[in-house]
Structure formats: structure tokens, C-alpha cells
Amino acid sequence: MNIFDKLIDKLKETPRTIVLPDGPDQRVMDAAEKLTKQNILKVILVGTQAEFDEAAKAKGYDLSKCEILDPKNYADMDAMVTKMVELRKGKLSEDEAREMLSHGNYFGTMLVKMGKADCLLGGATYSTADTVRPALQLIKTKPGAHLVSSCFIMVRGDERLAMGDCAINIDYQDTVDKEGNVTYTAAEKLAEVAVETAKTAEIFDIDPKVAILSFSTKGSGKGGTVKLSHDATIKAQEMAPELAIDGELQFDAAVSPVVAETKCKGSKVAGQANTFIFPSIEAGNIGYKLVQRLAGAEAVGPVLQGMAAPVNDLSRGASIDDIYKMAAITANQAIALKANKG
């Protein structure tokens, strides 16, 4: 049984509801039909009933098990507008909120925020910014989280690796208040990415052994992001002492037992790492694409991390299979999030 079969089996045991806000897109409808016919997920589609009826008839889709919600005729729209104005804390008027909620991305996000759905998968027709921005404004980060990050799961046969952050955070800088006091350090941010990536890895049945990467191993190099990776390792170990986390490590020390024996003997991670944390988006993006192209691995993601409820973004070139798989992943994040809340 491959990892996606396992994810789907878990959803059949623990039903979840997902919002697909991109309207009557053929790929979305095809994936929605498959998800509901196989009793994997409850699916909410956003748009008019007439739009979906026409599109489904033209292509022969059966959307009878999907719930179709039209923002312009939504019974609880007044309550949704009130809640959105409250969440935006005076930055929106009721009229402005109502106009924004006429669009599937904001409407779908508020369905999640108000508990009508567990998670959202968008981006088939919306841009990344138009998918992620409503989530950041309305769902926001989960308690204890300070940033949203991402990871890719690299799959080749039965082998799986996690890599983060490869898509969201350009780099890591200290957060300072108006008086110039540091309120959250760059190292704490990278450490948070490490812990969140480990949690995502666990969803994919990876027992995370987390390497925080650098061009230095245990002080062998200086400058650049070496101190960031070193300090982030200490912070991550403090944040999640139950996890196997080590750094700063060069990639060869992280994956080669021979090199690890020479450079960092006794490490619980070096030589056997399967979860890799990069000190910048340049390193992360290059790294996962090297594995994808040279090792022939499938890159699953990006999977967004740190949200109070799962929201994921598709490429606008996503295939039906991409949507199907990412819907299953997003819903499994919802299961994991609820389990972690206890």
C-alpha cells in the first residue's frame, strides 16, 4: 500500500469536509466527483448551482454528493459579514466585506473559519496570493505559531523525504517592535519551520530525523547562515525535545553514515536524516528541485504549515490527480491538527 492509499484510508475512517473555492473548473469538478463517489471527503464547491449544473451536464460529471454554495444566495451571509468585519478589526466596512465575500477565495476561507468546513484547497484558478492572503487575514496562524511555512514531500517508490521551507519564507530576520526590541528571533523562526516540517512528515508516515542544513558541520565553517542554522538547532531542540533534531549539518553529513562517523559521531540524526531544513528559500527551492529532477522523485506540495486550519495552494497548472492528492493531504492535516489539540 502506498502512502496516498494510507492517507485515503484514514479519511474514510475519519470523514472531513473540504472547500474547493475555484468555481466550475473542469479539473476541480473531476476531482470532486472522484473524492465524493469514493466516500473519501465531503466536498463544498463554491459557485452558482446553474454554473455547476451546466458544466457537469456538458462533461458528464456527477456532483450529486457535493454541496454547492453560492455566495450571493448564502443564507448565513449576514453573520459571515459580521464575523469578517470583527476579524479584520475595523479595517473593513460591512459593504467591503460583503463584496469580498462574493468571491470564492474569501467566501471559502470564511466557511473554514466559521466551522462549516475543516480545510480549504484553492489555486486552480486563483493565484497563490489570492489563495493564501485570505487565510492569513482570517484563519491566521495556530496558537503558538508565529509564521506560515511550507514543505515538500519527496516520494520515490517507498522512500519519502521532507524538505522545508522551499516556497514561502525568503529568509529569516529578527522581528522587532516599535522600540527596536527583538520579539522573535530569526533562529526561532527557522526552528519553528523545523518543528512544523517534522509534524508534516509524520502525516506521511515519516519518522522524522531532522537536519538543519548549512555549508558547515558543527562549526567547521563560519559566516553566511551558519550561526542561524546553529542557533535554530538549539531552539528547535528546546521547542520539541521529543524530536530527533541536529545541526548545523552539511548535506553529506546529514545523509551519509560514513561522513557522519567522521564529522559528527554520536549524532542521532547525522547519516540518517530524512527531514531537511534549509536556511533560505534559495537553498530550499534549489534543493528540492535537484532531488526531483536528478533522483526522479515526485515533489508533493508545497504543503502549508502553521495555519489554525489547513489551507493549501495548487499550481494553476494542476492536474486532476494533483487536486485529488492535495485534497487528501489537506484533509489529513485537519485530522492531525485536531489530534494535536487533544
- Architecture of the domain made up of 1-140+308-342: 3-Layer(aba) Sandwich (3.40)
Comparing CA positions, the residue from 190, 183, 288 lying closest to residue 237 is: 190
pLDDT tens digits, one per residue of 186-198? 999 999 999 999 9
Give the H or E element holding residue 88: none
Model confidence pLDDT, tens digit, residues 280-324: 999 999 999 999 999 999 999 899 999 999 999 998 888 999 999
Q: Is 308 left (phi over 0), alpha (psi -120 to 50) or beta?
A: alpha
- As a whole number of angstroms, the distance between CA 247 and CA 103 comes to 45
CA distance 341 to 61: 38
The proportion of the chain whose per-residue pLDDT surpasses 90, expressed as a percent, equals 89
d(CA 126, CA 192): 28
Residues 185, 113: Cα–Cα separation, whole Å: 29
Specify the amino acid at residue 63: L
DSSP state of 308: S
Q: Report how far residue 152's alpha carbon sits from residue 301's, in angstroms, rounded to the nearest whole number.
A: 5
Name the grid cell of 262: 567522521
pLDDT per position as a tens digit, 118-168: 999 999 998 888 999 999 999 999 999 999 999 999 999 999 999 999 999
CA-based max dimension of the chain = 67
Name the percent of the chain lying above pLDDT 70.
Answer: 99
Q: Establish whether the linkage from the previous residue to 248 is cis, with ω within 30° of 0.
A: yes
pTM for this predicted structure: 0.91
Q: Across all residues in the chain, what is the average pLDDT? A: 94
C-alpha cell at 200: 508534516
Cell representation of residue 94: 460591512
Domain formed by 144-306, architecture: 3-Layer(aba) Sandwich (3.40)
The predicted pLDDT at position 90 comes to: 83
CA distances from 16 to 28, 64, 142, 222, 299 (A): 17, 17, 19, 48, 24
Instruction: Please state the domain extents for the chain.
Output: 1-140+308-342, 144-306
Residues near 248 by Cβ (< 8 Å), separated by ≥ 6?
Answer: 212, 213, 214, 216, 217, 218, 226, 229, 230, 233
CA-to-CA distance for 272 and 290, rounded, in angstroms?
19
Question: DSSP character for 280?
Answer: S
Confidence of residue 1 (pLDDT cuts 50, 70, 90): low
Backbone angles phi, psi at 41, to 5 degrees: -145, 155
Same fold, 1-140+308-342 and 144-306: yes
